Amino acid sequence: MQTEILKIAIQKSGRLSDSSKKLLKECGIKIKNGGGKLLSPATNFPIQVLNLRDDDIPQYVEDGIADIGILGENVVLEANKQVEIVTRLGFASCRLSLAVPKSDTYTDVSFFEGKKVATSYPQILGDYLQKNQINAEIHKISGSVEIAPSIGLADAVCDIVSSGSTLFSNGLKEVEVIMKSEAVLIKRPQLSEEKQSILDKLLFRIQAVKKAESSKYILLNAPNESIPKIKEVIPGMKSPTIIPLADEGWSALHSVVVEEQFWEVIDQLKAAGAQGILVVPIEKMIV
Ligand code: PRP
Ligand code: ZN
């Protein structure tokens, strides 16, 4: 009988929170009370969701208040706690960048010598400046970093950039990328065997969801003589399914293609004689 419950910390509100909840949902996990409470148990999986400020997640995971967590890699790196990155999750991509007022002339990183830089990432910024042998004053603020230059609090900022609209609307321009980041899943190094096995089940589901997102199911018709060529283009998970059509000399082929190669594959299929190509999303993919 299973007695342990895996506690997962996710961001309560912000850039990652909707996608984190969506991922759990796509893994078939139903969260009680819509997941809005500080602590929300799942009804059909041995997991409990803790909704926290993302900056607090590394500490909670290190202390074992949460067993695992979903947060930005940037936050993990800045916190520098005893936690392990288990997997990257492929959403909430962003960069941690240096930005200066649009009207400033910028040539290279020496611009920051003797300047005052506002950030919520003093560790990462400190390492970066040291590596580039720049002496600058780091001014730590925990929110609304982007307004610091306009109110005279700093000459520049080091902050997360996603679409770039926050910088733009504050009259700033991105000049250096310090790191690229995305959502990751972290765990505390020592998990009980039972909790580890719940995590393994969750990871299995996450992989199936991610795999499905990056794949498409493709159906097409082709004259039989084109089949060998088409099989080379779309090998499928094992090999494509081939079904004869009522029309003599024609077949339907079903297969799976990877999203990144999608348009290239379509061009090759058309050139090989494929017709009536249909592409449909895959919900889950177990390989
Ligand atoms: C970051 C950053 C900006 C915003 C940038 O916040 O501080 O406010 O995202 O996004 P944009 O380029 O699309 O405008 P984030 O949610 O990472 O930080 P927080 O957890 O401190 O709120
Ligand atoms: Zn935060």
CATH number at residue 166: 3.40.190.10
Residue 228 lies in a domain: yes
Asked if residue 56 has its Cβ within 6 Å of ligand 1, the reply is no
Question: Are both 158 and 228 inside the same structural domain?
Answer: no
Full residue range of the structural domain in which residue 160 is found: 94-181
Question: Are both 187 and 136 inside the same structural domain?
Answer: no
Residue from 51, 24, 27 nearest 39 by CA = 51
Question: Are both 25 and 75 inside the same structural domain?
Answer: yes
Which protein residues have a CB closer than 5 Å to ligand 2 (ion)? 54-55
The stretches of 51-170 forming alpha helices (DSSP H) are 57-63, 73-79, 122-131, 165-169
Structure tokens at 28: 């078939």
Question: Are both 219 and 163 inside the same structural domain?
Answer: no
**pLDDT at site 59:** 98
Number of domains in the chain: 3
Question: Are both 61 and 189 inside the same structural domain?
Answer: yes
Give the bridge partners for 180, in sequence order.
95
**pLDDT at site 234:** 85
Kindly give the parts of the chain with pLDDT less than 70.
1-2, 34-35, 237
Question: Are both 271 and 156 inside the same structural domain?
Answer: no
Q: How many CB atoms lie within 10 A of CB 105?
A: 6
**pLDDT at site 31:** 92
Asked if residue 37 has its Cβ within 6 Å of ligand 1, the reply is no
Residue type at 101 in one-letter notation: P
Question: Are both 126 and 266 inside the same structural domain?
Answer: no
**pLDDT at site 261:** 83
Q: Which of 132, 166, 181 is the last residue of a domain?
A: 181
Give the CATH number, domain containing residue 272: 3.30.70.120
Question: Are both 206 and 231 inside the same structural domain?
Answer: no
The dihedral sign for the CA sequence 58, 60, 63, 65: negative
How many Å lie between the centroid of ligand 1 and the Cα of residue 168? 13
Strands 39-41 and 47-52, by their bridges, are antiparallel
Asked if residue 40 has its Cβ within 6 Å of ligand 1, the reply is no
**pLDDT at site 35:** 64
Q: How far is CA 191 from the centre of its chain?
A: 24
